[in-house]
Each structure stands twice: as structure tokens, then as C-alpha cells.
Amino acid sequence: MNPLNSLNFSGGPGALPESVLLQVQESMMEVPGVGLSILGISHRSDWFAAVVAEVETNIRSLLGLSTNYHVLLLQGGATQQFSMVPMTLLRGKVHPAEYLHTGYWSGKALPEASREGPVRVAWSGEASGFRRLPNDDELVFAPDAPYLHYVSNETVEGLQFHRVLGRDDVPRISDMSSDFLSKPCEAERFSLIYAHAQKNIGPAGVTVVLVRDELLADAPANLPGFLDYRKHIQTHSNFNTPPVFAIYVILLVTRWLLNDIGGVARMDQINRSKAALLYRMLDGSDGFYRGRAAPEDRSLMNVAFNLATPALEQQFLAEALAVGFSGLAGHRAIGGMRASIYNALTLPAVEKLLGFMDDFQCKQTR
């Protein structure tokens, strides 16, 4: 394996486990036991039905989810969910849905929701430059809201909620795209969770949706078929041709999480170790490396930081890339640096990055 792959700190598409990539590689010519390329297997085959069923089972098992939740595998990314959620739950409603505006991605969800019905921004971090998340004293949630929507981990700004928000009598909906299956998440406290694959669980082109059965009782009857969760539930994510390949990769990643890692609690321990090393480096650098997020809201997935000047940041990125660290540039919306340390990014890879950061600082400050 090329060493660069193991040092892919990109915000997404992210690194995938080497053992998964090897199995995927084999499947290009022949999926074991099937005799066809993964790219040529019918989505109506018994084999693929078993793949979807095992993905459902594995995700239920990893999150401790009961059978009153449906597990769906859809196309269109989180962006499609920004629209599907309010199309389903907000059209024709009087009371506003409540949204938290905590960064780039939650901000993208807002205009799509407002197209469909009334929206109240319950808290916004815009004035503070999205450098922190709200504390409980700042949050008052209405009991009559159709739902509360928030992003569990803001990928761009490196902010992550370390608690579940909202009222138990209002449906909680969360975009968990960048921390899904990175840790236990109290999934049953949510009515709907969505996560596109291309961070922790697979390649771009497929989105996991977990939805509580009762949530859809009053959904509009006249939605286009592909935007109607119930159509996807009835057909086990086979309403129209699903992205077979991407779903197969999710199968392999969930097997890896269950069997090689040992579950999401163990994954969380590993992820915490990786993040702790990086944040300790930032905090101990005498201000050479400057963490972007408020310490209590730091993301375990995306470590965003700055150097003293944009010129120094460019130098850092160029030297890092030259020795094989890929994807460290911050999101184009805010610049700076970001080390994304998703599930498949290993502790040794983080240690290598720390070594590089240490050297870079030494050379600049001696």
C-alpha cells in the first residue's frame, strides 16, 4: 500500500481501512463466491439483498438500535436530506422547526428548510465566527416545534457536541455526517439521523438514514417517489437502482468496526487518543499552533488550527504535502489547517504528523 493513503488527513472523502481497500480491490474482478465484478452485480440479486440486510443489522448492532428504526441507504448526500427532512415534516406546519446554526454545514441546511416551512434559528454562532457551540443556558427549545435539527459535528470549523440536545417531547434530528459510527451516540434519543458515507463509513455517493417508524405517520402523500422515505422503507432501499458499490464498501467497513475494532465504544477510545495527542500538541506549542475551537467544543474528528500568518500556513501545508501528509488544508470557506482524524486514520499516522509539526515549529522558532 502506498504510504500516502495511510496519511490522508482530508476532511472528506476520508481514509478507509487498508483491509477494506484490499477486499474492495479484489471485488473489482470477482466478488468472492459470486463470480462477477462488484460493478456488474444486479441490485435485484439475492446477493445484494443480503448485503443490504447485513448492513442494516451491523448498523443496528453497532448503535444498539431497536427494530422500530428503519435503516436506509440513499443517494444525494446530506444535501438531499437538508430538503427531505422539511419536505416530510415541515410542509404546511404553523409552528417553526428549530435549527441550530453552528457552522458551515448547519448553515447550508437552513435555506433548504425555509423553502418548505417556518424555521426558527434557536441559536447562531455566526457572531462569534463559529468558534464555539452554545451551552445549555443559551438554549430554550419550544415544546410545539415539529422538530429540532442540529449538526453533531461541524466538519469545517472542528466543533462537536459532546451531549445530546433538545427536549424529549420534540423529535430530534441530527446530521451526523462527520461523526457517525465514530462513537456511541445514544441513537434512540433521535427520531432521525442522517450521515453521508464519505467520512467514516465508505465512499462518496451513499447516505445512511436512521428513521423512527412513528416519525413518518403524517408525512405528505404527494412527494416524488425518490424523496419519500416510506417508498425507500417499503423497498429496502431498492426503490430505484441503489449505489451498489458504495453500499458494499459500507458493508465491509461495518464488518471491520464490529470484528477488527470491536465496536464503536472501542473506536471512540482510539479516536479520543488520536484527538488528545493533537490537541495536546496545539496547547503545548506556546501559541505557535492555535486551535480554532473553544476547548470544551473541540471535535474529535476534525482538528482545525492556525499559524501566526497565512504565509506561514502556506509554508506548513507545502512542506507537509512534500513529505506525504495529504489533505491538511482547511476548508476553502475558512482556510487555515485541519487534520481530519476519522476512524480509519491510525494512531501511528497521527504520531507521524506530530513529529512533523514538532520539527516544523523547531525550525521556525530556533
- Catalytic center residues: 105, 175, 199
Q: Does 25 bind its own copies (CB under 8 A)?
A: yes
**Phi-psi category of 69—alpha, beta or left, where left has phi over 0 and alpha has psi -120 to 50?**
beta
Residue keyed to cell 426558527: 120
How far is residue 308's CA from residue 54's CA, in Å, rounded to a whole number? 49
- Pick from 125, 243, 330, 336 the residue near its own copies by CB under 8 A: 243
Q: Does 254 bind its own copies (CB under 8 A)?
A: no
Q: Which residues of 26-65 are buried (b: 16+ CB within 10 A; e: fewer)?
A: ebeeebeeeeeebeebebeeeebeebbeebbebbbebbeb
Q: Does 2 bind its own copies (CB under 8 A)?
A: yes
Q: Does 19 bind its own copies (CB under 8 A)?
A: no
137 to 176: interface string for its own copies, x by CB under 8 A: ----------------------------------------
CA distance readout (Å), 144 to 59, 94, 139, 141, 270? 31, 10, 15, 9, 40
- Helix or strand (DSSP H, E) at 123: strand 119-124
Sign of CA pseudo-dihedral 365, 156, 77, 209: positive
- Pick from 57, 135, 235, 241 the residue near its own copies by CB under 8 A: 241
**Hey, how many other C-beta atoms are within 10 angstroms of the C-beta on 326?**
15
Name the one range near its own copies by CB under 8 A: 143-151, 222-230, 272-280, 281-289: 222-230
Q: Does 244 bind its own copies (CB under 8 A)?
A: yes
How far is residue 6's CA from residue 19's CA, in Å, rounded to a whole number? 12
Residue number with CB closer to its own copies (87 or 282): 87
Residue number with CB closer to its own copies (28 or 265): 28
For the CB of residue 306, give the shortest distance to its own copies in the complex, in Å. 20
80 to 109: interface string for its own copies, x by CB under 8 A: x-xx--------------------------
Q: Does 50 bind its own copies (CB under 8 A)?
A: no
Q: Does 196 bind its own copies (CB under 8 A)?
A: yes
Q: What does the DSSP 8-state code read for residue 131?
A: -
Q: Tell me which residue of 343, 304, 57, 9 sits closest to 183, measured CA to CA.
A: 343
Residue number with CB closer to its own copies (23 or 132): 23
For the CB of residue 78, give the shortest distance to its own copies in the complex, in Å. 8
- Here the cell at position 183 is 462513537
- Pick from 107, 327, 330, 336 the residue near its own copies by CB under 8 A: 327
Residues that bind its own copies (CB under 8 A): 1-2, 4-5, 8, 10-16, 21-22, 24-25, 28-30, 35-37, 39-44, 75-80, 82-83, 111-112, 115, 196, 198, 202-206, 222, 224-227, 239-246, 249, 324, 326-327, 332
